Structure 1
């Protein structure tokens, strides 16, 4: 994905998102932040020692995150989170995420993950490794500090570097929302448009005071269902 092409595709996707919000949640539009400066985006890469996906860099040049919604403020969140981080918050929160990384060989194992999925205590949708604090992730937004959106730069087999993952740590749920940031925005735009046309058919639930609920994109009925990349892995009970 080239730089100019990436920017054009992301700009088009954001235009669709903004158009959808204008139809179903216009009070949220002021919460979309101004563009980030290129030096600030470069500083994220330096601070975290990563190369951000080109389309996410382009997205920051359009909106450097979103504002924080407050009940009764009249400006709900424009995204199904409390907010998307700006460049500084991306660095701060990703560092906090990495600080929580404690390698556990007996648990950070596809055989164990297969066992936990089979038992219904771990929900996995897509090619993502369920490792809290994994250094191959960049945290880009959250809801109540429990639900996060990550850019997964080190996906499981079959995944795409830069895929967007929704992680609910408390519920042990990991969902690949889209293979890229651009495709995430397009998916969100399509659901906003569908909500405008037929709310009952959309996967969005929108609170006019707070914004879209964070369950957007969650795969239902995953209990006991392995993603394709774990399908042939022999399960291992870590307690035995």
Structure 2
């Protein structure tokens, strides 16, 4: 097995990159960068176009696959998921290779060698992931909820179904920590949904209207079931309008997932409905969304019996100011316009070339927790020190440098990110990230330097 920190392990990859980028490497400060993981890689290498009528084959880039596999074997041996790198290769073959390792305080970047989110407080999650459902003491079941009709309909459609025992239902309730609502108990009393029970497993799908999970796979869709990287999650806000049927949450201990729509979206009973919803309504939790869910049916009886559609649309947000504001040429025209007491997330981009924005209008806003600013868009980055409630901050390297030199990095932060555009060398960005991590005594990103000579 090749060793991860042996220069010979990386030689085949480096030779391919040298051949592809000889001109770049010959320029002062020229380097090549990339990332290789156990299940994929990002390397700036040309790919040949297959002949007309034929798909691309591994054989077309066999040298690349072989070179990458050598590094992947070393990663597996070392127990490492992936490794980023930057290399300077001189014309005579002398090479300095910087291996950029992982830190438990840093998520991997997307491709390339730059770091992702910096987790400054261990196990911290963004505010929407900490949000619990609002109580809805006045919520009642939908008029369509009818466990008797539900049972009759299911037994008519599934006459040979094997139902769960009371002991199995009780065990599921003990595992979940909540009692199953009456309609869900009725469903599983009729059909426990194990595939081995059915000559045709899709009979349950047709009878119920979704892919029904076995009872021991039913789970609560709380916020932990929808993980997201800080850089994306911090840009979300959860909002529940007064006329909403479903609360705009990341997850809820009252969302009991019992099925799937066949495309990865989860089907759940909702015991924590929105102000205009009903207890026990059926919702769909989208697998491509970080927050929220959609109303599917007023009740499980409604879903199974295909009762006439009545109020399956969620409430609209109306005209109130958005909790997430994007100041840019396609969004809001100024920071002043974005500012209001309910603002949680502010993203500043390019409006007019060269225009810079001050942060005075948002100083003191009680809910502002996220700021992201495109490089060169802040009139005075040191104004950030006045935003004492920030939990996430994403800035350019230059703006971070200014905050660090002025000792003005907000200590309220739980996570941060460095926004990098263009073909910037990763090592200075890694060094900057380590300075930020050091303020919270978090583990740095390790960099190992290997030297060797590539043969001609």
| Fold shared per TM-score above 0.5 | yes
- Does residue 151 in structure 1 map to residue 277 in structure 2? no
Contact 2:258 2:268 in 1 (8 A): yes
Aligned in 2, Cα 1:7/1:151: closer, same or farther, shift over 3 Å? closer
What's the counterpart of residue 174 of structure 1? 293
Higher helix share: 1
Shift of 1:161: 1.7
Q: 1:184 aligns with which of 294, 303, 306?
A: 303
- Does residue 79 in structure 1 map to residue 166 in structure 2? no
SS at match of 1:149: strand
SS at match of 1:228: coil
Segments of structure 2 that go 5 or more residues without pairing to the other structure are 1-140, 325-344, 348-456
Radius of gyration: which is bigger? 2
- Does residue 141 in structure 1 map to residue 259 in structure 2? yes
SS at match of 1:150: strand
Aligned in 2, Cα 1:76/1:39: closer, same or farther, shift over 3 Å? closer
SS at match of 1:151: strand
- Does residue 99 in structure 1 map to residue 224 in structure 2? yes
Q: 1:184 and 1:106 mapped to 2: Cα distance?
A: 34
Contact 2:220 2:253 in 1 (8 A): no
Aligned in 2, Cα 1:178/1:143: closer, same or farther, shift over 3 Å? closer
Structural mapping, 1:28-43, within 5 Å: 33-43=161-171
Q: 2:221 and 2:178 mapped to 1: Cα distance?
A: 16
What's the counterpart of residue 234 of structure 1? 321
What's the counterpart of residue 51 of structure 1? 179
SS at match of 1:139: strand
Aligned in 2, Cα 1:45/1:78: closer, same or farther, shift over 3 Å? closer
Task: Tell me the number of residue pairs that the alignment of Structure 1 and Structure 2 aligns.
Answer: 173
Q: 1:108 and 1:138 mapped to 2: Cα distance?
A: 22
Compute the TM-score of the two structures, normalised by the length of structure 2: 0.32
Compute the TM-score of the two structures, normalised by the length of structure 1: 0.56
After superposition, give the CA deviation of every residue in 1:141-174 in whole Å (9 maximum; x if it has no partner): 1245721101111111111121111222226783
Contact 2:221 2:253 in 1 (8 A): no
Aligned in 2, Cα 1:9/1:77: closer, same or farther, shift over 3 Å? closer
After superposition, give the CA deviation of every residue in 1:25-48 in whole Å (9 maximum; x if it has no partner): xxxx69x74111011112222211
